[in-house]
Homo-oligomer: A and B are copies of this chain.
């Protein structure tokens, strides 16, 4: 653990490029409250004067901040601070994970398991209704039900109403979709039963029970996918 911290320090101390410095300053504008989310920044030419740096350096910093989702730039209009944390950086990072499906499944599972505990505390009656509707749609609609399935999980995730977690789960669900879209699910009855049990636990507002039911569900899904993947590889 301590080593890990050292690594970070040793990596960040010697590298104090101007661009990095500028990025920090601009973040400071936000952190110090001088500018607020959604505000328009000063144009590049002014910022270069204010910070005494060249425009390429400033633009390197801006580019970094944009890739982190902290700002977004509109051509021939200006630069704005983002309203909320986006899932963009997480998505970019996950591209590094490449085809590591097991790690993505595990991360998704962990995140959903934690979030459902929070959801059990906070979910609204209306969101419970929406959940119930997806279950009905799941049992009644014919053909591919993957969209309805995703909706179920998204409703739960967003019922937590935490933008930090939203950014994390959003990127993971997208990566999961992308990588598992060719995997077939054909056990509608199992899915319906699992979703119903999760729904009932949420209705009771019981974190532990909701966790248990979600664990049962995701553990089942996980094993199924990894098994199918193994078979298709062999």
Interface set of A (CB-CB < 8 Å, partner B)? 1, 4, 8, 11, 15, 19-20, 23, 27, 30-31, 37, 56, 59-61, 63-70, 72-73, 75, 82, 84-87, 89-90, 92-98, 103-104, 106-107, 109-115, 117-118, 151, 154-155, 158, 160, 162-165, 167-168, 170, 172, 207-208, 211-212, 215
Contacts and interface: CB of A to CB of B under 8 A. Distances in A.
A93 B113 contact: no
Nearest to A19: B63
The complex is assembled from copies of this chain, and their number is 2
Contact of A118 (B8, B110, B117, B118): B110
B93 A85 contact: yes
Contacts of A85: 93, 96-97
A64 B164 CA distance: 21
B164 A27 contact: no
A20 B93 CA distance: 14
A164 B68 contact: no
B164 A97 contact: yes
A172 to B, nearest CB: 8
29 contacts: A15-B72, A15-B75, A19-B63, A20-B67, A27-B92, A30-B95, A30-B98, A59-B60, A60-B63, A63-B63, A64-B67, A68-B92, A68-B93, A69-B96, A70-B95, A84-B96, A85-B97, A89-B92, A89-B93, A93-B167, A103-B162, A103-B164, A106-B165, A107-B162, A110-B117, A111-B168, A112-B114, A164-B172, A211-B215
Given A68-B67, A104-B164, A215-B208, A96 B30 contact: yes
A151 B104 contact: no
A23 B92 CA distance: 10
Given A70-B95, A103-B163, A109-B118, 19 more contacts: A1-B155, A1-B158, A8-B87, A27-B95, A27-B96, A60-B63, A64-B64, A68-B89, A70-B96, A85-B97, A89-B89, A103-B164, A106-B162, A109-B114, A110-B115, A113-B114, A114-B114, A168-B168, A208-B211
